Amino acid sequence: MARLALVTGGTRGIGAAIARRLAADGLRVAVNYRGNEAAARDFARDSGLALYRWDVSDHQACLDGVRAIERDLGQPVEVLVNNAGITRDAMLHKMSLEQWREVMQDDLDALFHMCGAVIEGMRGRGWGRIVNISSVNGQKGQFGQTNYSAAKAGVIGFTKALALESARKGVTVNAVAPGYTDTDMLAGIDAQVLDGIKAQIPVGRLGRPEEIAHAVSFLVDERAAFVTGATIAVNGGQYLA
Ligand code: CAA
């Protein structure tokens, strides 16, 4: 039977590309989303994948969501992709406590919630794949993103620590650090600022969601069992870690 994958924030942008790619690879895929019902409806119609709505910053909702998926689909989540995330950009001296907390809760606390919901099962079965989506800005820092850069750097540390804990149990835990990718997340950036960012990308363009999904597909493959604790940069050469 095909293994079951769960992709958070999977109805738009990078998450949607990951969900589609894993389905094309032959996995069974469940998709989590938080609030954009219109996007979710369109995605469900096009992809035919099972959608589940909850907020990954809510610990109990994550436990309940995973339980509901496993009950409905009749098999355990063996592949988890923590993709859901937000930005709340502002220079630190203008950043509110709420902007700080929202990003930490959605982009970092969610890993504790979601990995906590699946890790015991994966350890018990002796097989699992976890991929956490970080960011180039967690590696290099970014003007206006003390919150996001901190959370996404935290994602990398979390990934390394959980990889060590899981290595003997057949569970790999890796991160993908996308560069600037052509999704809704860039919509809020001033056009001039974005042009300046594009000019710093050696490949000369934004990334495509499918290019991020390709790295995730590699990491969750059965044959990637010896890759764990790694961070794969997919950033067009913008930052060479
Ligand atoms: N480096 C150095 N100086 C900069 C700068 C930069 N990157 N960006 C702006 N500045 C300077 C400005 O020139 C300005 O200087 P002066 O006061 O001398 O004119 C000063 O800093 C203040 O700039 P703003 O007036 O633009 O400040 P603001 O408070 O209105 O906006 C901001 C600040 C919201 C952070 C805005 O600069 C911005 O949107 N930056 C882009 C942040 C970004 O890249 N976000 C990524 C989102 S996508 C993502 O995160 C996905 C991913 O994983 C890659």
Q: What is the pLDDT of residues 65-105, one digit of tens each?
A: 999 999 999 999 999 999 999 999 999 999 999 999 999 99
pLDDT confidence of 235, banded at 50, 70, 90? very high
- Mean pLDDT, the chain, whole residue set: 97
33 assigned to active site: no
* Predicted pLDDT of residue 231: 98
Nearest CA to ligand 1 atom 9: 143
- Candidate of 88, 91, 135 to mutate for ligand 1, largest count of ligand atoms within 8 Å of Cβ: 91
- pLDDT, residue 51, reads 97
| Residue 3 clears pLDDT 90, i.e. is over it | yes
Q: Which residues contact 30 (CB under 8 A, 6 or more apart)?
A: 4, 5, 6, 7, 49, 50, 51, 52, 69, 73, 77
180 ligand 1 Cβ < 6 A: yes
Question: What is the distance between the alpha carbons of residues 30 and 80, in angstroms, rounded to a whole number?
Answer: 10
Give the pLDDT band of residue 188 (cuts 50, 70, 90): confident
Answer yes or no: is the C-beta of 62 below 6 A from any ligand 1 atom. Answer: no
CB of 145 shorter than 6 A to ligand 1: yes
| Ligand 1 contacts CB of residue 137 (under 6 A) | yes
Ligand 1: distance of its center to the CA of 90 in Å? 8
pLDDT given for residue 134 in this prediction: 98
Asked whether 209 and 190 are in contact (CB, 8 A), the reply is: no
Residue 187 confidence (pLDDT): 87
The domain segmentation of the chain, as residue ranges, is 4-233
Q: Which residue has the tokens 């990637």?
A: 224
3-state secondary structure of 7: strand
* Domain 4-233 -> CATH class: alpha beta
pLDDT digits 0-9 by tens, 132-178: 999 999 999 999 999 999 999 999 999 999 999 999 999 999 999 99
**Ligand 1 atom 6, closest CA:** 143
Residue 171 to residue 150: CA distance in whole angstroms: 26
State whether residue 12 is helix, strand or coil. Answer: coil
Q: Is residue 36 scored above 90 in pLDDT?
A: no
pLDDT interval class at 218 (50, 70, 90): very high
State the catalytic residue, choosing from 33, 52, 148, 180.
Answer: 148
Residues 118-129 have pLDDT tens digits of 999 999 999 999
Ligand 1 atom closest to 186 (CA): 48
Query: Could you give the CA distance from residue 132 to residue 177 in angstroms, rounded to a whole number?
Result: 9
Per-residue pLDDT, 241:
83
